[in-house]
Amino acid sequence: MKSLSKSTRIMFLFDLIVLFVSTFYWAKFFDYTPKAVTLLCILVVIGGLTVLYLKGNYKIREFNITVKNAYLLFEGIVMTHVLPALYLLIYAASLKSTINFLAINVLSIFILLRLARAVNHFYLFKYKKVKNILILGTDERARIIADEIQGKFALRMKVIGFVQENDSDDEFISDNGLPVYKGITDLQPIIDENNVDIVVIAQPTELIITIPRDVAIFKMPDFYEMVTNKYYIDEKTITELYYQYATNRSRGYDFCKRIYDIIAASIILLVTLPITGFTALRIWLTDHENPIYTQTRVGIDGKEFKCYKLRTMWANNYVPKNLKNGGYAQNQETDDRVIPWCKFVRKARFDEIPQMINILKGEMSIVGPRAEWDEVVNIYKEQIPYYKCRMWVKTGWTGWAQINQGHLFSVDDEVGKLTYDLYYIKHRNVFWEICILVKAVFMALGGRHD
């Protein structure tokens, strides 16, 4: 999972310095003990960088200067100071001193980080060198990667054209008027003339041997992953993915993941017990029906299981009206069958807490592709190529697709979610899965985990 931009690393380093210097200065200003100063700096620096990373502050798209991004940054800084606040109140300072320190440190960090992002944004779009990209090939792969690059301005990359090695290649008509170089036997002149920095190989060609050694070279699927954080799907890449999946299985990973699932599910169940208990009781008092219901979902290797959920709709025998078209009856936001006060329950995902039981039983995992309704899966398997590949691993309570794309309502959108699911399958590791879980919790608490 490489990064195409060094700007994120620079921002990360600057944030580290700001978090440390601001906390150290104000802790000294309030005459805290050396032990308290040290611990506060550690908590704010480590906590701050972790929270900002999990909230997506180091993604290219967050370089945009918007009110929403400013709010998310401020929210992250406030979250960073929760543990320092508890420490000060319990061990190190009075209530007044704690409030004053937290207020001024949060404000100074926010101002400095926001200013740094404004400067970085200005540099990125005004002065940073644009990398020129040459694409070898003129097939569908070439078109797709060109569209992705051209659509992400913050990457500061420009496609200068495509190379067609011979007349037998299938050529597409470029919508954006990019040139197609034909009959080329040596790439050196094109690279020199256009100051090419990166060559992307969309189609196999012997021309790669004419690429200068100082020019970066990427295969299209790998470059697609770096640009989108999704997996490029076609027959060849699926074969490669399955080979990797089948030959690189690790019992150590499986054991660690199972332990992680058990610990995380147990903690989530314990911490949310008062909330889920109160919600279940209130649902029962609302219409005097069972607050827990089960639905048949499809898990690993296509095995069906009963998935537990808190019921947030009025009791009925609901069947999606347009299920034949592979969608849901209506948008959940406007669905009048949802019990009114349960809309936040759904947004915060408290209705899915009972799925921790499925995780403890080994039917699901904390992180993985979403567990879909069996009726919907039958449709998707027929209409979406390679949809069964997402069943190579256990389905999850949350996942890479869920935190990037949310819940979906059509077959076309489900195709996009599949690219995230397969990206997860290729790159999964326990540390990354912990990050996904924590980010999902942040999004849920903010009502943004759709």
| pLDDT averaged over 10-residue windows placed end to end, the chain, 450 residues | 66 93 95 93 94 76 70 89 91 87 96 89 81 92 90 84 71 67 88 94 89 92 92 93 87 91 94 90 85 91 93 66 48 62 78 93 94 89 92 94 76 87 93 87 66
- Per the domain annotation, does 329 fall within a domain? yes
- Per the domain annotation, does 73 fall within a domain? yes
Pair of tokens at residue 170: 């299938």
- Per the domain annotation, does 234 fall within a domain? no
> Considering the entire predicted model, what is its pTM?
0.81
Q: Are residues 217 and 321 in the same domain?
A: no
Overall domain count for the chain:
3
CATH code: domain of residue 185: 3.40.50.720
d(CA 300, CA 364): 8
Q: What is the pLDDT of residue 348?
A: 76
Q: What is the pLDDT of residue 323?
A: 45
- Per the domain annotation, does 239 fall within a domain? no
Q: Are residues 103 and 170 in the same domain?
A: no
Q: What is the pLDDT of residue 249?
A: 78
Q: Are residues 173 and 74 in the same domain?
A: no
- Per the domain annotation, does 245 fall within a domain? no
User: Final residue of a domain: which of 179, 195, 228?
Assistant: 228
Q: Are residues 208 and 80 in the same domain?
A: no
Q: What is the pLDDT of residue 3?
A: 56
Q: What is the pLDDT of residue 404?
A: 86
Q: What is the pLDDT of residue 324?
A: 46
- Per the domain annotation, does 243 fall within a domain? no
Q: Are residues 316 and 439 in the same domain?
A: yes
Q: Are residues 289 and 405 in the same domain?
A: yes
Q: Are residues 296 and 429 in the same domain?
A: yes
Q: What is the pLDDT of residue 242?
A: 93
Q: Are residues 175 and 88 in the same domain?
A: no
Q: What is the pLDDT of residue 335?
A: 56
| Residue 146, domain extent | 131-228
Q: What is the pLDDT of residue 1?
A: 46
Q: Are residues 180 and 257 in the same domain?
A: no
- Per the domain annotation, does 93 fall within a domain? yes
Q: Are residues 120 and 135 in the same domain?
A: no
User: Final residue of a domain: which of 228, 259, 286?
Assistant: 228
User: Final residue of a domain: which of 126, 161, 182?
Assistant: 126
Q: Are residues 213 and 353 in the same domain?
A: no
- Per the domain annotation, does 297 fall within a domain? yes
Q: Are residues 137 and 208 in the same domain?
A: yes
